[in-house]
Chain A
Amino acid sequence: MELSKEQCREIIARRVAKEVKEGDVITLGIGLPTEVANYIPHNIHVIFQSENGMTGVGHRDLSAPENPKVINAGGLAVTTRPGAVFFDTSMAFTIIRGGHVDATVLGALQVDEEGNLANWMIPGVLVPGMGGAMDLVVGAKKVIIAMEHTSKGRPRIVKKCSIPLTAQHEVDMIVTERCVIDVTPQGLVLKEINPNFSLEKILASTDANLIIPDYLTQKAG
Chain B
Amino acid sequence: MKKIISVSEAAKLIKSNSSVMIGGFLRCGTPVKIIDELINNKTGNLTLIANDTSYPDYDRGKLIVNKLVKKVIAAHIGTNPETGRQMHAGELEVQLVPMGTLVERIRSAGAGLGGFLTPTGIGTMVEEGKETIEIDGKKYLLEKPLKADVAIVYATKADKFGNAFLDGTTRNFNPVMATAAETVILEADEICDEPLNPAEVTIPGLFIDYIAV
Distance A28 CA – B3 CA, assembled complex (angstroms): 42
**Binary CB contact string for chain B from 84 to 97 against chain A (1 if under 8 A, 0 otherwise):** 10011000001010
Provide the A54-95 mask, 1 if CB < 8 A to any CB of B, else 0.
100000000000011111010100000000001111101100
Bound state CA distance, A70 and B25, in angstroms?
11
Q: How many residues of A contact B (CB 8 A)?
A: 40
Decide: A53 near B171, CB < 8 A? Known: A71-B26, A93-B104, A168-B123: yes
B125 touches A75 (CB 8 A): no
B77 touches A135 (CB 8 A): no
Contact across chains for B172 and A131 when beta carbons are under 8 A apart: no
Report yes or no: A88 in contact with B171, Cβ–Cβ below 8 A: yes
Q: Is the CB of B84 within 8 A of A127?
A: yes
Contact (A70, B169) CB under 8 Å given A75-B79, A90-B176: yes
B25 x A53 contact (CB < 8 A): yes
Q: List 7 A-B contacts (CB under 8 A).
A: A52-B25, A53-B25, A88-B172, A90-B103, A128-B84, A135-B98, A164-B125
Whether a CB of chain B sits under 8 angstroms from the CB of A202 is no
Q: Does more than half of chain A's interface fall in helix, strand or loop, or is it mixed?
A: loop
User: Is A51 within 8 A of B26, CB to CB?
Assistant: no
Known: A75-B79, A88-B172, A97-B118. A69 touches B98 (CB 8 A): no
Q: Is residue B71 within 8 Å, beta carbon to beta carbon, of the partner chain?
A: no
A174 lies within 8 A of chain B by Cβ: no
The residue of chain A having its C-beta at the shortest distance from the C-beta of B175 within the complex is A88
The A-B contact count (CB < 8 A) is 143
Question: Interface digits, B119-136 against A, CB 8 Å rule (1 contact, 0 not)?
Answer: 111111110000000000
Q: Mark B150-190, 1 if CB is under 8 A from A, else 0.
A: 00000010000000000111111111100000000000000
CA distance A69 to B45 in the complex (A): 30
Query: CB within 8 Å of A: which residues of B?
Result: 25-29, 51-52, 74-79, 84, 87-88, 94, 96, 98-101, 103-104, 107, 118-126, 156, 167-176, 202
- Tell me if B101 and A135 are in contact (CB < 8 A): yes
Whether the Cβ atoms of A96 and B169 lie closer than 8 Å is no
Does the CB pair B171–A86 fall under 8 Å?
Answer: yes
Which residues of chain A come closer than 8 Å to B121, judged between CB atoms? 134
Assembled-state Cα–Cα distance A126/B80 (Å): 12
